[in-house]
Amino acid sequence: MTNRPRFRRLVVLAIALMSFADLGITACTTAGSGGSVNVLASWTGAEEGAFRSVLQKFTDETGITVNYTGNRALNQVLLADIQNGQPPDVAVLPSVGELARYIRSGDVQPVDGIFGAHPTDSYSAQWLQLLQAGMGKLYAVPVKADLKSIVWYNPAAFPYERPTTWGQLTAIGDDLRANGKTPWCVGMGATPASGFPGTDWIEDILLHQSGPAVYQQWAAGDLAWTSPEVRQAWTTWGEIVAQPGFVRGGPTAALLTEFSDAGKPMFANPPSCSLEHQASFIMGGYRNVAGPDGNLLQPGTGFDFFPFPAFDANAAGVEPTEVSADLAAMFQPSENARMLMTYLASEKGQAVWPLRGTAFSANKKLLEQNVYTDPVSLKIAETLTSMDTLCFDASDLMPAKMSDAFFRAVLEYIADPGRLDGLLDSLEKVRTGIQHDDWLNVPCGGSTR
């Protein structure tokens, strides 16, 4: 927590808000204002380079210098900065749960108005609702978004119709194994969040198997981990990860393989696995893989995806879709910080990363600008911006203590599926030990439960 007097903070906030009462979305085009703004995010390496391209465009337009710090230990660094009374002007948080933590402590400021006078011209009503984090006000900008309810494959080595139901998907897995092939590429390694690919699996299964209302109840901490719906999601996933011959290298390889490397064997000659359940960001890694001809893989011909399949009872309806987002939040209210937030929300700022082929935007105006130049990226962007059945990643909504326990339980389940009941009992003890006010109740799939 900051050691500045709260009265002073409120005065600074009021002045900043009055200064911008009439600026709206045009603020980002005001050139030559000078000064600087400090930004903290977790991105390093290629991701940092891509984000710096966004920030440089902002500097070119406004004259405001951006001092960027990238650190994988973002949560620890940010908390220390706040406790020392020196938070960044803007921080990009990896989950809604982390955002809510700082909203409750009073360290994040609302950003109502930065989406312009008609925000639904750029963002769907559901995205705007999701960005309220169940708090009733807008507190964040989705710097980039990811589609999670998808399964990747190699078109050159996949002689099947794309499945639309879970039954069809499992039939393909059975056929591959019967023909001496391994259906699934799986990797759980992701320090410091190893296990997250498994949580994505369980979330997707629960969402499609039991529906958005149950999913929302579970993500909000109102459904026991020992409930039939949650247990069924785990055992359904176990039909893949716990079955001999279904995962490349078996459980040991799944535990030791980095998530970023898990899908690469799909493109070997011959492939040593055929399918990967992973979010849309992974196509940035696929683009760097050389195919059998020595050329880098191209979207659509070298790799493609199909939506996470419906469970047969729901096959006739529009399926809900799991999403996630990296969220920029304003910790120090100032004219420069608000200008940056406005720019990040605008289609001009949002367009920079998609042009590099590694990120996607929730801003639907980018579709009008034709920034997505390949069919795979276009399909992802259309789903992210046009559907009204979106649900935020459940583990991203959960309190950190719960999501950390979820990650660990996934790893332990892969190592020994026979421990499932004990793992669910342990997860339930964690849930009941968390105060109700620490949970988020964010609408899912159009639900307003």
Domain ranges of the chain: 6-146+324-387, 150-321
| pLDDT reading at 281 higher than 90 | yes
CA dist., res. 320 & res. 444, Å (int): 8
- Specify the long-range contacts of residues 10-13, CB closer than 8 Å, at least 24 apart: 12/333, 12/334, 13/109, 13/333
List the alpha helices (DSSP H) in 257-316: 283-286
Return the structure tokens found at 54: 């966004």
| Contact present, 420 and 238 (Cβ < 8 Å) | yes
Model pLDDT for residues 385-394, shown as the tens digit of each residue: 987 789 999 9
CA dist., res. 154 & res. 75, Å (int): 36
Percentage of the residues of the chain whose pLDDT score is greater than 70? 90
| pLDDT reading at 27 higher than 90 | no
* φ, ψ dihedrals at 176, nearest 5°: -60, -45
CA dist., res. 17 & res. 113, Å (int): 10
Return the structure tokens found at 247: 């995962």
| Contact present, 221 and 400 (Cβ < 8 Å) | no
List the alpha helices (DSSP H) in 244-292: 250-256, 283-286
**What 3-state DSSP class applies to 287?**
coil
Model pLDDT for residues 39-81, shown as the tens digit of each residue: 999 999 888 998 999 999 999 999 999 999 999 889 899 999 9
CATH number of 150-321: 3.40.190.10
Tell me which DSSP letter residue 308 carries: P
DSSP states of 36-103 as a string? Answer: EEEEEES--HHHHHHHHHHHHHHHHHH--EEEEEE-TTHHHHHHHHHHTT---SEEEES-HHHHHHHH
pLDDT value of position 319 = 84
Cα dihedral across residues 240, 242, 243, 245: positive or negative = positive
pTM (predicted TM-score): 0.89
Model pLDDT for residues 146-156, shown as the tens digit of each residue: 999 999 999 99
- Decide whether 6-146+324-387 matches 150-321 in CATH topology: yes
Determine how many CB atoms are found less than 10 A away from the CB of residue 136: 8
**What 3-state DSSP class applies to 109?**
strand
Q: Give, in order, the Cα–Cα distances in Å from 182 to each of 157, 166, 241, 246.
A: 12, 18, 12, 6
Rounded to a whole number of angstroms, the distance between the first and last alpha carbons of the chain is 33
Superfamily assignment of 6-146+324-387 in CATH?
Periplasmic binding protein-like II (3.40.190.10)
